[in-house]
Amino acid sequence: MNELDSELVRGQLAALGYSFTPDADSADVVLYNTCSVREQAENKVLSRVGKIGIRKREGARVVLGLIGCLAEREGTPLLSRFPQIDLLCGPGELDRLPMLIDNALKTETVEAADRVALAGNRNRRTATLAAAADNLELLDLSRAFDPDGGGSGGPRHSAYVRITRGCNKFCTYCVVPFTRGAEVHRTPDAIVQECRRLADGGVVEITLLGQTVNHYLYTHGVALGVNGQEVPQVGPGGSAFTRSGPRGANGRRVTTFAGLLGRIHEEVPSLRRLRFVTCFPRDFGDDILRVMRDCPRICRYLHAPVQSGSDRILRLMNRGYTSGEYLEFIDRARDILPDISIAGDVIVGFPTETEHDFGQTADLLGRVRFKNNFIFKYSPRPGTTAWDRLPDDVPTDVKRRRNNDLLALQAGISATVHAEQVGRTVEVFVEGLSRRENSRAAGRVELGWERPRGRIQMSGRTAGDLITVFDLPPDGKPETLQGRIVPVRVLRAAPLVLFGCLEASTRSLAKQTVAVHRSGITQLEI
């Protein structure tokens, strides 16, 4: 979500003539897009804010802005705590960011009185209604899509498209319902239109974004904008859904998530890959699984965070499902889509978690056989129900140990899942040079080395989101493969990476030259 917001802000600012630099020290405006989900992310950004404070005290003239969830959650008190911050802008106000920056730049030496906070000053309901209003919608729709990728290392071939904002689930540990407001669903037409524009601009892969995408539900004809056109609307509660799909809406026409996927697949045929994150494990209807099965360009990939394998902890987290129900969902998914690849999130050390609860989470990991899992140590977040009602009683060293144990367990499972691909030919969407190449390149720049001769390693992802690296043929050019989907034969596997070689039929393709237009001015650093 934050990445998409950064992308939209970047597009908005680029359209106004701002250029970007990877070097914060040389910038006139520094913006940090902040995340409040875990404390660690907050601490990191506040430490950077501290460093800019020192520079400003030493005379540097730079406008410093915080955007995103932290700005929304903390609001104006942050300005008193950190006088070096010139502006705050929550995720629901991003359309007004250029105006805030402009004001801050014009006032040059920004006095305290001029500092502005468009955040934390409204309750959840007004924030939601504002999000449903046209301005934010326009930010999504008017994204200044730059097929060159804004100098970020080559043309852009994958993009995010938001389908819902906010969240109604109120998991007891989570700040998102407070920082991003209630769930607001964009109109299907706006989403399809945005996907079409991106595909027409050369995007190969689109990821639909929402906190719980399977709860996407748009009821047509209920609320229209001033010109009679459909507008974003607040999403329904969980009772609107059944296992086979959403319930009827009193005879009104609805677009479900399954319907939306089907529409994009059909109406944007030039799009090669369509994927989505994140799924909520409850209410994932068979209708969605069937559309995935019937539409070959929809990736067989689900990111479905389980959070815990203990029913007691799941209840305390207010997740609304049991581990048995989660497993039943995974079985249904594998019945309908045998090659589905599943990733998840887990929190260890949630208040009152015992060794027994933790053991149940470990068992569940083994049963689901996730391709990978993001494992987090519980971090109490102010404003959440858990912060108010459940003391953070699992000691830090126990959290750390459980985290390490699950990482080790998951590494073994990931290794098996990846090893099953050895010998197969997989379709890889080539993203660019592999991390190894990028760090070698950085070393060369720093140390002034000449580019060494030898193989160049490329990296991409399968439709099941497995990272795959392969050598570029000796006479190949990286830019001819970047952004393409190519067949790669898998030769060996590590826990999180497949190693392969380009299928013979594609090797000649790597040699062709294509005209790649680069503006060369912008860098992504928000």
Tokens 């300005």: give the residue: 79
In whole angstroms, the minimum distance from the beta carbon of 36 to ligand 5AD comes to 9
Residue 178 or 257: which CB sits closer to ligand 5AD?
A: 178
Residue 167 interacting entry, from ligand SF4, ligand 5AD, none, C-beta within 5 to 8 Å by type = ligand SF4
Tell which phi-psi region holds residue 202, choosing left (phi > 0), alpha (psi between -120 and 50) or beta: left
d(C-alpha 120, C-alpha 116), whole Å: 12
In whole angstroms, the minimum distance from the beta carbon of 283 to ligand SF4 comes to 11
Residue 31 or 37: which CB sits closer to ligand 5AD?
A: 37
Residue 345 interacting entry, from ligand SF4, ligand 5AD, none, C-beta within 5 to 8 Å by type = ligand 5AD
Residue 211 interacting entry, from ligand 5AD, ligand SF4, none, C-beta within 5 to 8 Å by type = ligand SF4
143 contact partners, CB below 8 Å, separation of at least 6: 7, 8, 11, 12, 194
d(C-alpha 254, C-alpha 521), whole Å: 44
Give the closest residue to 237 by CA, choosing from 174, 276, 185, 275.
185
Distances (CA, A) of 25 to 56, 60, 102, 524: 11, 9, 20, 15
In whole angstroms, the minimum distance from the beta carbon of 166 to ligand SF4 comes to 9
Q: Report the amino acid identity of residue 136.
A: L
Residue 376 interacting entry, from ligand 5AD, ligand SF4, none, C-beta within 5 to 8 Å by type = ligand 5AD
Q: What angle do CA 406, 412, 418 make, to 5 degrees?
A: 125
Residue 280 interacting entry, from ligand SF4, ligand 5AD, none, C-beta within 5 to 8 Å by type = ligand SF4
Residue 371 or 381: which CB sits closer to ligand SF4?
A: 381
Give the closest residue to 162 by CA, choosing from 199, 210, 204.
210
Residue 392 or 525: which CB sits closer to ligand 5AD?
A: 392
Point out which residues bind ligand 5AD (CB under 6 A). 37-38, 173-174, 305, 307, 345, 347, 376, 378-379, 381
DSSP classification of residue 495: S
Residue 378 interacting entry, from ligand 5AD, ligand SF4, none, C-beta within 5 to 8 Å by type = ligand 5AD
Coil, helix or strand for 119? Answer: coil
Point out which residues bind ligand SF4 (CB under 6 A). 167, 169-171, 174, 176-177, 211-212, 280
In whole angstroms, the minimum distance from the beta carbon of 375 to ligand SF4 comes to 15
3-state secondary structure 365-403: HHHHCCCEEEEEECCCCCCCHHHHHCCCCCCHHHHHHHH
In whole angstroms, the minimum distance from the beta carbon of 48 to ligand SF4 comes to 25
In whole angstroms, the minimum distance from the beta carbon of 281 to ligand 5AD comes to 11
In whole angstroms, the minimum distance from the beta carbon of 413 to ligand SF4 comes to 23
